[in-house]
């Protein structure tokens, strides 16, 4: 059974002006997504700025999210690291904190070989009992999980069950789907490629844009899986300019500004992230207004 089908929001982590995690706003965001059809929450991923948190903060944010969600939807905790031992430690602690599954990014900077990736993921998987979603985002990590590697891991390791595919390479996803023949669940990691990935047998999306359009992102997947391909495609195309705006600067800078403009939470980011440039803010505002999102 899939961890989730539909839309998982790659949730932003709200910070206060002094940089501390704003847990009241985090709770408010969880309630917002619970009320607006979000199917799962990914906490402490790339969009959640986990790379700027201490390990103590990282775990506390996961614990609080699990508490606030209270079993209403799956909580998938980001626990990846370029140090295998650190990833194992974070994964075990996230399981103890009550996470339903883990999102484990490829080791960044180290640029592991395919054999290294196999050993890395196996070591993490053997340390926990909950499902693992591998996260393939070579544009940020300079490390690509090749289709044969992903399939080998899924077939040999019981709790490696899914992959977030953010390579942007639809040909690679097609090859993955062919080789996997259903042995691994595939989720889109690119908001502008949800429908193409669903056409290759995908289960849904782990979405940045869902931070501000959760219901439409859910509906995009639900319509496709219900057979309403035309309706799903219409939502995909409607969202293209918004998706572009959410990546007009490096993620999560634009979406942090977007959630602030939508009145959902503060838009503070942690260094080395910086506030969106004025031209980017105008692009974000225009895309949100055109889409029909009310700005505050």
Distance CA 296, CA 282 (A): 14
Return the SS3 of 9.
strand
135 is catalytic: yes
Q: Decide: 52 and 61 in contact? Cβ < 8 Å.
A: no
Query: What are the residues whose beta carbons fall under 8 Å from the beta carbon of 106, sequence distance 6 or more?
Result: 80, 112, 117, 120, 134, 135, 136, 137, 138, 141, 143, 144, 145
Catalytic residue among 121, 135, 187, 268: 135
27 is catalytic: no
Torsion of CA 251, 256, 258, 262, to 10 degrees: 150
Distance CA 107, CA 85 (A): 11
Distance CA 291, CA 278 (A): 20
Catalytic residue among 68, 121, 152, 164: 164
Of 92, 98, 96, 108, the C-alpha closest to 46 is 108
Q: Decide: 112 and 143 in contact? Cβ < 8 Å.
A: yes
Cα 109 to its chain centre, rounded Å, is 20
Catalytic residues: 135, 164
């Amino acid at each position: 059974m899939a961890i989730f089908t539909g839309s998982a929001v790659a949730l932003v982590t709200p910070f206060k002006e002094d940089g501390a995690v704003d847990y009241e706003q985090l709770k408010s965001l969880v309630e917002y997504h619970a009320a607006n059809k979000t199917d799962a929450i990914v906490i402490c991923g790339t969009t959640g700025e986990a790379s700027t948190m201490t390990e103590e903060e990282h775990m506390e944010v996961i614990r609080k999210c699990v508490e606030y969600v209270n079993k209403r939807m799956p909580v998938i905790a980001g626990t990846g690291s370029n140090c295998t031992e650190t990833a194992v430690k974070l994964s075990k602690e996230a399981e103890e904190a009550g996470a339903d599954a883990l999102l484990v990014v490829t080791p960044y900077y180290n640029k592991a070989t395919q054999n290294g990736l196999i050993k890395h993921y196996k070591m993490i998987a053997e340390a926990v009992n909950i499902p693992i979603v591998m996260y393939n985002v070579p544009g940020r990590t300079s490390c690509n999980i090749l289709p044969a590697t992903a399939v080998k891991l899924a077939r040999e390791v019981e709790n490696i069950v899914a992959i977030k595919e953010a390579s942007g390479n639809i040909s690679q996803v097609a090859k993955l789907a062919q080789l996997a023949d259903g042995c691994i669940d595939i989720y889109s990691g690119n908001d502008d490629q949800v429908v193409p990935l669903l056409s290759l047998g995908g289960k849904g999306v782990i979405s940045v844009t869902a931070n501000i359009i959760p219901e439409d992102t859910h509906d995009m997947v639900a319509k496709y899986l219900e057979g309403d391909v035309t309706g799903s495609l219409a939502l995909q195309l409607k969202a293209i300019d918004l998706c572009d705006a959410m990546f007009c600067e490096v993620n999560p800078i634009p979406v942090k500004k977007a959630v602030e403009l939508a009145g959902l939470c503060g838009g503070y980011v942690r260094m080395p992230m910086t506030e969106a440039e004025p031209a980017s803010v105008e692009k974000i505002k225009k895309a949100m207004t055109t889409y029909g999102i009310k700005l505050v």
